[in-house]
Amino acid sequence: MSQYALEVRNFTKKIKSKTIVDKVSFAVEKGEIFGLLGPNGAGKTTIIRMIVSLINRTEGEVVINGHNLDTSFADAMSSLGAIVENPEFYKYMSGYKNLRHYARMAKNEISEERIAEVVKLVKLENAIHQKVRTYSLGMRQRLGVAQALLHNPAILILDEPTNGLDPQGIREFRDYLHELAATGISVLVSSHLLSEMQLMCHRFAIIEKGKLIHISSMDETVAEGVDEQREVAFEMDDASIALETLRSGVVAFEEVSLKEDMLTVKLSKSSIPAVNKLFVEKGLSVYGISAAKATLEDRFLELTNKKGEEAKR
């Protein structure tokens, strides 16, 4: 059996002379949350629609849990659960009756025990017998995930799943996906909300104008080398004296902001101990040092801007 829950190979989609998706390849490991990032119109939804066979591919292939979609369609699709648009249900029916309805359409029989299991998994036990029209958007999203999980797929695919959710709902949904991944289910999620994806995903790919321009783990992306500049804030008794002291030293820095008790400068990571030592030797009290970490947004803008500059040359 493949080590990957999903493999996308050389995905290409053309409409007449226009290339919408251009030779995109990536793989999702078992038990990980993998993000597809990119601005609206980058091609994320087109890629997802090709994976779940809602639209045809011009080129390429997809393998789901070891099953090639072209040669083993039924086996591949039975390993896949997806929510491509906002989940739609019969609002006059209860959440349970909706799940029971979908269960009857499944290829293999789905037991009452399995329905109860997924209801518990998405934390809808207290509302499952209420009519769907009484559900909040977040509850409908979780019911949609429960429906997608009924047949116990190897991978769950979600397209912009947090659209319309309030901050509390987004956090609850993110925490739920982490719990899901911990059980061994893989998740492929697309979004343009970079701050949320940084908290949600283990690895990600950036799609820009239909091309895959970057793929890495989240830890690799936000990590910085010792010589890279970052903002460092020093909490002091008198930040103005600290600034004069720093100007008289030999450490290269760039001033960012000065407040009564806080000096913020740009330094390399390797310079932070030397600056702290300088302050202490001059008799200055340092109450706190905080270094800003790179964000996914920083890296995303760096990569997409770089590609844009290269395209202009």
228-253 per-position pLDDT tens digit: 677 888 998 888 888 888 888 778 88
Tell whether 111 and 259 lie within a shared domain: no
Tell whether 123 and 235 lie within a shared domain: no
Helical H runs in 79-193?
Answer: 95-104, 112-121, 137-149, 167-182
Tell whether 15 and 82 lie within a shared domain: yes
Say if 298 falls within a structural domain.
no
Residue 109 buriedness (CB in 10 A; 0-12 / 13-18 / 19+) = exposed
Alpha-carbon separation of residue 176 from 180, 203, 243 (angstroms): 6, 17, 46
Tell whether 64 and 23 lie within a shared domain: yes
Say if 313 falls within a structural domain.
no
Residue entry with tokens 């019969």 = 90
Instruction: Say how far apart CA 305 and CA 73 lie, in whole Å.
Output: 39
pLDDT, residue 24, reads: 94
* CATH code, domain with 260: 3.30.70
Alpha-carbon separation of residue 261 from 153, 171, 237, 270 (angstroms): 55, 34, 6, 23
Beta-strand ranges (E) seen in the chain are 4-15, 18-29, 33-37, 59-64, 67-68, 80-83, 155-159, 186-191, 203-208, 211-217, 229-236, 254-258, 262-268, 286-291
Pick from 301, 286, 288, 188: nearest CA to 242: 286
pLDDT, residue 135, reads: 92
Say if 171 falls within a structural domain.
yes
Pick from 200, 197, 264: nearest CA to 230: 264
Beta bridge partners of 61: 9
Tell whether 163 and 261 lie within a shared domain: no
Last residue of a domain, one of 222, 244, 276: 222
pLDDT, residue 307, reads: 58
pLDDT, residue 226, reads: 45
Tell whether 238 and 171 lie within a shared domain: no
Say if 129 falls within a structural domain.
yes
Instruction: Say how far apart CA 157 and CA 250 lie, in whole Å.
Output: 53
Residue entry with tokens 């030797």 = 281
Tell whether 42 and 123 lie within a shared domain: yes
Under-50 pLDDT residues of the chain: 225-226, 312
**Domain coverage including residue 132:** 4-222
Alpha-carbon separation of residue 273 from 52, 63, 285, 304 (angstroms): 52, 50, 14, 33
Tell whether 152 and 53 lie within a shared domain: yes
pLDDT, residue 223, reads: 60
Instruction: Say how far apart CA 7 and CA 29 lie, in whole Å.
Output: 9
Number of domains in the chain: 2
pTM recorded for the entire structure: 0.76
* CATH code, domain with 75: 3.40.50.300
Tell whether 127 and 240 lie within a shared domain: no
| Residue 164 identity | G
Tell whether 251 and 192 lie within a shared domain: no
